């Protein structure tokens, strides 16, 4: 399947307060964000012309920037509106939305307090992250080589570009072996998350999910926990040992891209997409499209 490169497309990108033709939205090769990963971003989905949990995403973008020691030169309300305007200008009703903020090219070095902070927002068509038939039977995950770092070594609660390097490496390795993704442990050896999605397990009708103390507490994760509890399920957020996976019957991952996707395999462990995984997958899809009313 041919995929258009992301630098050669029709359309518009919101850049520092104005719309720029897609192909002209460029940064210099000596941009600090490129060399030192001083950039933060969000991944959002628009369903039926409305961005799901837009303000929550924008607020997290600002928090991530604060953690990386820079200030976004717009307000939360202005970025919210810019996301809406970019979606409207795209002409799409269902799409992926990518706001990103980064340090510019005024300084190139570890210290870069005087760099200009730039913000861009792009929107593009986004089909299902996994093929529908693959989601229904559950995706296969292997174990990742790299572990999620300690909060003492990285700003783990920021959605920062540099933190995704080990995710890219792990997902590439998994795909080369025929898997859809990889499961990452944290630095202590507990179950953490997939390379770009949070994970949940089911045992005896009860849902268990890793405590988000060294990785992002995903907005989709929070929404699914709320949805599950509204449906009457117990949800426990706790540290999960890898050997516990043998005792779980179901597994699923959650994320803006993955939404709710059942998992059939994590390394040597097997799961069967069951009533809880499949019902949450369906109800989440209805909720984001406003076909399901929640309290």
> What percentage of the chain's residues is helix, strand, coil (to nearest 5)?
30, 30, 40
265 CB-near residues (< 8 Å, 6+ apart): 138, 139, 140, 141, 179, 271
CA torsion through residues 224, 230, 236, 240, sign: negative
172 CB-near residues (< 8 Å, 6+ apart): none
Q: Between the CA atoms of 225, 229, 233 and 235, what dihedral angle is there, to the nearest 10 degrees?
A: 40
Among 121, 84, 102, smallest CA distance to 37 is for: 102
Q: How far apart are CA 93 and CA 80, in angstroms?
A: 17
Identify any residues that bridge with 118 across adjacent strands, giving them in sequence order.
102
Question: Do strands 198-203 and 206-210 pair parallel, antiparallel, or not at all (unpaired)?
Answer: antiparallel
* φ, ψ (nearest 5 deg) of residue 165: -60, -50
Question: Do strands 191-194 and 181-185 pair parallel, antiparallel, or not at all (unpaired)?
Answer: antiparallel
45, 124 contact by CB (below 8 A): no
Determine whether 159 is an active site residue. yes
Catalytic residue among 131, 135, 159, 171: 159
Point out the residues that are catalytic.
159
């Amino acid at each position: 399947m041919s995929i258009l490169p992301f630098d050669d497309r029709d359309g518009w990108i919101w850049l520092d307060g104005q719309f720029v033709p897609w192909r002209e939205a460029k940064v210099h090769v000596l941009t600090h964000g490129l060399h030192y990963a001083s950039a933060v971003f969000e991944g959002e989905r628009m369903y039926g012309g409305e961005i799901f949990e837009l303000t929550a995403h924008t607020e997290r973008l600002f928090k991530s920037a604060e953690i990386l020691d820079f200030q976004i030169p717009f307000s939360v309300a202005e970025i919210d509106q810019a996301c809406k305007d970019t979606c409207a200008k795209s002409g799409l009703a269902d799409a992926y939305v990518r706001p990103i903020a980064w340090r510019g090219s005024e300084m190139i070095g570890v210290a870069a307090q005087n760099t200009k902070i730039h913000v861009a927002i792009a929107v593009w068509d986004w089909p299902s992250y996994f093929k529908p038939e693959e989601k229904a039977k559950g995706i296969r995950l292997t174990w990742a080589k790299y572990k999620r770092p300690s909060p003492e070594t990285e700003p783990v609660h920021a959605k920062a570009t540099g933190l995704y390097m080990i995710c890219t490496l792990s997902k590439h390795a998994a795909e080369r072996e025929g898997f859809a993704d990889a499961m990452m442990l944290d630095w202590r050896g507990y179950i953490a998350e997939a390379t770009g999605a949070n994970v949940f397990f089911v045992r005896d009708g009860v849902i268990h999910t890793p405590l988000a103390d060294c990785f992002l507490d995903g907005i989709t994760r929070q929404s699914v926990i709320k949805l599950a509890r509204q449906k009457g399920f117990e949800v426990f957020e706790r540290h999960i040992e890898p050997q516990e996976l043998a005792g779980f019957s179901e597994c699923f991952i959650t994320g803006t891209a993955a939404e709710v996707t059942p998992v059939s395999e994590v390394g040597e462990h097997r799961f069967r997409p069951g009533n809880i995984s499949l019902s949450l997958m369906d109800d989440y899809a209805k909720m984001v499209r406003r076909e399901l009313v929640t309290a």
